[in-house]
Structure 1
């Protein structure tokens, strides 16, 4: 039954391909970029193509080749070529001016309203996705919690002002091989359930800790469990969401990461007044159980991934979920049928090609190795209290909270712009900006080492931290889970996302271990 007088018409650039790693992927993945276009049917593009005409394409390549190949600077030529194409292809009107042709498309009808908020099925799936964002909230809260605790006198008193190597030890907690095995063998929901129980247990142990060993035990349990929840929720969101909403819903996942960090910072700031009670630090640690409690609800009553169900031969259940949330229950809907066939064929070909199962398959081919290199990029997180010279305690916690709000704003803006600007363009803009900011931060750190009493340098350092986190949040965070989910084959998707969060955990651990030692030697911390 039609839910509105007019059906929705959406454009999807790029069809989900097998992507077994037999060939190197382009820097831009075959993503599903969707925008509402009309009222008659669903337009699904069968292949991605440049907005530039073929003649213009060849002319630009020829000019760049003559300019750089003579000096054998092929890397620079390719980088400039990719950047120029990205700028031109995302400039309104340029494609038409250069004689670009439309993508070849196939029309798939879909029983949904053009506005997701007016469609029952899309409202339901959006509600589940919002609840699944708690997985990102959990890891964001956990990552920022220790920064806030370091500024609380009662916490430093209870654990003897941990610094240097001891601070790095408390930060170090991660997991790797078990998470994708649980996701692929028992399902995304089981991984979320297991991780949520672990986070709740670890948070209770940490909040009730009376010794440093007990607190570290709770931190390790939480750190390992967070990777279960984050990997499971990231996979489930990208595999459940309607194609029309996949870009925005996937890119906003790590924006909620920043919201979790912001709440941790401000909750720590709010407890500063309890200067005579241990609940000054116990309450922020205990609050960590809130998001996992919501995830327990999702794991118990929410839908499972259709891709996981098809991989286990449960085709009827997968089709029912696709129909319920993507076409308001119509199993014969054209979009639903094509989605079902596409997923089924994709997984069957992977199984026939022996690409499923092992970690070896993630690095076996040149294409997959390149995908891993692209997606598992270093994850930058500013350690505000130790990296910035802010002497007055309430001010340091306040700066932590303000920077978190600043980063959250830019993360949400970047997530909403991902379909307009494009994945590669976001990466390019963010990387160029961060290189410039890091150069200035390095110079400021060197200047502060020579003039340790300069408040002007310290203020400049904090300002640059604001800019760095803003640029990082705008470009890298929206693509942190969306990009790997779109370019990695199903058989290695959970492994790739798990590795992504492990890289994040390792980066935080190394940062927490090295930065306090180095800054203490520089007499900054």
Structure 2
């Protein structure tokens, strides 16, 4: 009863009821099979290409972790450690934070595609600078460029993906999108595992650095053939182009198809309502209404929770994490590759269930599992560091893998998809910018503070015992416990309704949404078609 009362105070009960109502009222579109439909086959290829953007981010996250294991890299850059190592990792986030405010301006004015293209080009240049570096400053410059370009592609790719997908496939693709972070991490882990056998050679780390720029250049070749967002085109009064794109990719060119007409009318009417209410959106709009304040809190929480759940220690500092257990570089790289492979399979597996399993359940399962794993991880680490307890090191490794398993069930996939679902078109670019800014700030603190914590707490006493890195894991355990409480009371369910109809879930009955009934619309289309046939027969 107490929990129910707290839920009601947080307004969650009303939102869950609104979700159920919206789900019941959601239109039942004609079922389609993508590989049997020419337009959907093309659209699926473009969707996969856009998803590779997330793999690029995962590549960098794990590359930073892996090159620290190469002796040739450490020698080239003077054995960076402590704050110097933290800054090296943070420069990627610094570059990203600098470019993030520009992204919504370009995306809302010129479109999603130009923004993505700018990001790919800058990242390719950054990868080249990083690979050619022979000193600390040049390497840092390459990382700044990589981060600067990443914001453009990382924010706009999921927006375009969401806005061009068929309603039947939207949830799966937007969830799989962020899961492919693990694909990038997997590629770099196994690449570094292989180059580690090249011996003491700077190409151990230069080759993976070059590979980092290749996916963006390949994506750039596909980008110019992709359709622009129909929602962007309608917002710019280019309705005919938007209708043609929806028809070409969702119904093989049939502009009168019920699904196409429903999408077009709902998008067009909803955007008109949003535009009639105000001339332009501003960041201050996130503070003006109760619904927008709720969105803001969720976006910030998504950004912080996705990076401050202990995963940053694993992805960026596993060499310290496993090294404190006495493991060698080759074994560490192998463990990284294995855990990343598992994470990718789990993330994609749960992403494919996104149309059947509620988002709230997945978030609660993931966060609760991480909390339990971190608690056991902290205990095992403490026993190993203080007493060298038999089996504690194996137990710690097992708990690290359990943590990765649970993180992958929701936070890998739903991070971007959930953020897109709670945002109306008018706030989507700015909302994703806010979430990505939260992510980059969290990563910035992660990459700078975690090595300082290791420096302070990992040194044992003269007997070889007494390291206290378990303090760091205890901090994460307490924090994730708070995350679990927040998710339980604040996260609303979004499975079922269309993007436009989800506005009602958060804003309530007064939401700015076009009311269009698919059944009535189909009858009108059939009636018009009948009238045309009768008229034609009379003329004959």
Q: TM-score range by the shorter chain?
A: 0.7 to 0.9
Show the counterpart of 1:517.
Answer: 452
Contact 1:418 1:478 in 2 (8 A): no
Whole-Å Cα distance in 2 between the matches of residues 455 and 204 of structure 1? 47
Which sits farther off after the overlay, 277-286 or 389-398? 389-398
d(CA) in 2 for partners of 1:518 and 1:301?
48
Which residue among 483, 489, 492 is the counterpart of 2:418?
Answer: 483
Query: 1:18-417 to 2 correspondence within 5 Å?
Result: 64=1, 68=2, 74-75=5-6, 103-104=24-25, 110=30, 114-172=32-90, 173=93, 174-175=96-97, 176-354=100-278, 356-376=280-300, 377=302, 378-380=305-307, 381=311, 382=314, 383=316, 384-388=318-322, 389-390=324-325, 391-417=327-353
- For 2:102 and 2:199, the matched residues in 1 are separated by 41
Given the alignment of the two structures, is residue 433 of structure 1 paired with residue 386 of structure 2, yes or no? no
Deviation at 1:365, TM superposition (A): 2.3
Secondary structure at the aligned position of 1:329 is classed as: coil
Aligned length: 439
> Alpha-carbon deviation of 1:386?
2.3
Of the structure 1 ranges 513-522 and 494-503, higher mean CA displacement relative to structure 2 is found in 494-503
**What is the CA distance between 1:364 and its match in structure 2?**
3.0
Contact 1:375 1:483 in 2 (8 A): no
What is the TM-score when the length of structure 1 is the normalising length?
0.79
What is the deviation of 1:516? 1.3
Instruction: State whether residues 189 and 333 of structure 2, in contact with CA within 8 Å, keep that contact through their aligned partners in structure 1.
Output: yes
CA displacement at 1:104 relative to structure 2:
4.6
Larger relative helix fraction: 2
Could you tell me how far apart the structure 2 residues matched to 1:363 and 1:144 are? 36
**1:76 offset after TM fit, Å?**
6.9
Moved over 6 A (4+): 76-79
C-alpha separation in 1, matches of 2:27 and 2:48 = 31
TM-aligned CA deviation for residue 478 of structure 1: 1.6
Residues of 2 paired with 1:281 and 1:221: CA distance? Answer: 18
Q: String of CA shifts for 1:279-331, please: whole Å, max 9, x gaps.
A: 01101111011110122123322111111111111111111100001111001
Give the alignment partner of residue 499 of structure 1, picking from 429, 434, 444.
434
Structure 1, unaligned runs of 5 or more: 1-63, 91-99
**TM-score, normalization by structure 2:** 0.76
Q: Secondary structure at the match of 2:355?
A: helix
For 2:114 and 2:433, locate their aligned partners in 1 and report how far apart those are by CA, in whole Å. Answer: 15
Deviations 1:203-230 (A, max 9, x none): 0000000110000010011012111111
Supply the RMSD in Å over aligned alpha carbons.
2.6
Task: Determine the C-alpha separation between the residues in 1 that align with 2:423 and 2:298.
Answer: 11
